[in-house]
Amino acid sequence: MIRLALPIYVELLTAVVAVGMIDLLWVSGLGEAAIAAVTVGTTVEYLAYGLFLAVPTGVTVLIGRRDGHAPLAPVIRTGWWLWGASSVAIAVPGVLLREPLASLFTDSPALTAGFLLVSLGGLPVYFAQTVVDGILKGMGNTKLPMRNAFICNGLVVVLDPVFIYGLDLGVQGAALATVLARLLTLLIAVLSVTQPRSLGPGLVVGEVLRTGLPMSGDFLARSLVGLALVEIVAGFGTAEVAGYGIGQKIMLAGVMVFYALRQAAMIRTARSEPVRAPLRLGLGSGAVVAIVLNVIAAPVAGLFTEDPAVAVGFLRWMTLNLVPFGGLLAVGGVMQASGRGSRLLAATLAGFAVQLPLAYMLSSWLGVTGVWLSMAAGTAVSLVGALAPCANGFAPPRDRAPRSTRTPAGPPR
């Protein structure tokens, strides 16, 4: 599990965190308005990816189930068909609505709209890369997606200053550099995905969507609840919002460990490979991440602000949230791949149903500390809800024998 998860962690850290941070670093010389434009633009792009997440997730799980036992081409073909349909359905409205979107989040909508024009217009490239990575992960290969993420980040580092300052394109230059870097990475990545010899008939649209939609629902629910929490924290002042944002950015590097474990558990379960004690592994990872974040909280938060008290307090209280969160995501990977994704989503929503009203109530009594405590309570409820239907353990589905007991199906495709 750890060997499989480590490349995923590096990939997530570089693909999810680093690209936005690189863009922010390069545009920081253009002023606060430029920083705000890139921040809003990357946030909107992240939400758009949540709408598409069902496709690469479904492709990964179904390829893992079929690899060596059934034709893969129907799944791959379906993934690309859904990529085309989703790209049009998400990117076109996003581009057309870029100005109203920009006006919702920033006082400088022109800069933000310019960034969104390019970034949302380039979503098909971003989505295509996730489909390629989903295919590779379904085949049990997590190293090539990690390599692809490194290539993309290296290209962004080189192209950003050229487009932003060399060509004097400013904020739009950052978006253009990112889209171009992703396009070049995609051209390299597709060479690593070979077509199966046995094409097989038809599409499996319903199967891909049924498998992947719970993951999209989970992602979008977390994003929306995150926005609600920002609104609650904003009631206590700008310093609290800034501290919360800084703490979240620091915590994100640790949380990616849990998402890597979830993907690793999902891949192994889909391929009928054993996932031993995912709950214990997730809880243990949560404890380790919490300890590390407590140690680095003050010095790292101090790099972002002269008054790190709110950020440090947030990271300290997050110990109560990180431990159950690690367990929830590790168990969630098994549930997602074994056809219990809808139950996992229901448990997540139940946790949020507890968390949000609790955040309002506790914050009126304990201030922002009440918000932090509500996060831990909601995650604990979600974990209990996820474990409730799993009394029989986390074994692969009974209709499939463990992969190690089956006869190999021939040479790699």
Q: What is the pLDDT of residue 384?
A: 94
Looking at residue 412, its pLDDT comes to 42
| Residue 411 forms part of a structural domain | no
Could you tell me how far CA 238 lies from the centroid of its own chain?
27
Residues 171 and 53 in one domain: yes
Q: Which of 142, 176, 203 is the last residue of a domain?
A: 203
Low-confidence residues of the chain, pLDDT below 50?
Answer: 196-199, 391-392, 395-413
Determine, yes or no, domain membership for 208. Answer: no
Answer whether residue 332 is part of any domain: yes
What is the extent of the structural domain holding 227?
Answer: 213-403
Whether the model clears a pTM of 0.85, i.e. scores above it, the answer is no
Of 138, 173, 203, which closes a domain? 203
State the pLDDT at residue 390. 54
Same domain, yes or no, for 172 and 45? yes
Same domain? 168 vs 224:
no
Residues 78-106: tens digit of each pLDDT: 889 999 999 999 999 989 988 888 887 66
Three-state SS string across the chain, please?
A: CHHHHHHHHHHHHHHHHHHHHHHHHHHHHHCHHHHHHHHHHHHHHHHHHHHHCHHHHHHHHHHHHHCCCCCCHHHHHHHHHHHHHHHHHHHHHHHHCHHHHHHHHCCCHHHHHHHHHHHHHCHHHHHHHHHHHHHHHHCCCCHHHHHHHHHHHHHHHHHHHHHHHHCCCHHHHHHHHHHHHHHHHHHHHHCCCCCCCCCCCCCCHHHHHHHHHHHHHHHHHHHHHHHHHHHHHHCCCHHHHHHHHHHHHHHHHHHHHHHHHHHHHHHHHHCCCCCCCHHHHHHHHHHHHHHHHHHHHHHHHCCCCCCCHHHHHHHHHCHHHHHHHHHHHHHHHHHHHCCCHHHHHHHHHHHHHHHHHHHHHHHHHHCHHHHHHHHHHHHHHHHHHHHHHHCCCCCCCCCCCCHHHCCCCCCCC
Whether 145 and 190 share a structural domain: yes
The total number of structural domains in the chain stands at: 2
Claim to verify: residue 187 and residue 238 sit in the same structural domain: no
Verify that 166 and 281 share a domain, yes or no.
no
Residue with tokens 């990939």: 11
251 near 97, Cβ under 8 Å?
A: no
Same domain, 167 and 297: no
In a shared domain, residues 280 and 167: no
Residue 408 counted as domain residue: no
CB 333 within 8 A of CB 269: yes
**Co-location of 131 and 54 in the same domain:** yes
Which two three-digit tokens encode residue 194? 């070979």
- Rounded to a whole number of angstroms, the distance between the first and last alpha carbons of the chain is 24
282 and 150, same domain (yes or no): no
pLDDT number for residue 194:
58
Q: Provide the pLDDT for residue 405.
A: 40
